[in-house]
Amino acid sequence: MPQLMVQNGKFIDYEDALVHVMSPAMKYGFSVFEGVRAYWNDRDNQLYVFRMRDHTDRLFQSMKLLRFQPTFDKDEIDRLTLELLRQNEIKSSGAVRVCAYVDGRGEQESRSPIGYVISATAKGRDTAIVEKGIRAQVSSWIRIADNSMPPRIKTAANYVNTSLARVQATHDGYGDAILLNQAGKVSEASGSTLFMVRRGKVVTPDLTSAVLESITRDTILQLAVQAGFEIEEREVEKTELYAAEEIFFCGSAAEVKPVIDVDGMIIGTGEPGPITRHLQNDYFAAVSGARADNKGWLTPVLTS
Residue 152, Cβ density class (10 Å: 0-12 exposed, 13-18 middle, ≥19 buried): middle
CA 173 distance to own-chain centroid:
23
Residue partners of 160: CB distance under 8 A and separation at least 6: none
CA 229 to CA 41: how far, in whole Å?
A: 28
CA 272 to CA 246: how far, in whole Å?
A: 7
CA neighbor of 82 nearest in space, from 106, 47, 130, 108: 47
Catalytic-residue membership of 74: no
CA neighbor of 156 nearest in space, from 97, 232, 224, 104: 97
CA 93 to CA 91: how far, in whole Å?
A: 7
Residue 170's identity, in one-letter code, is: T
Of the candidates 154, 201, 238, 295, the residue annotated as catalytic is 154
Active-site positions read 154
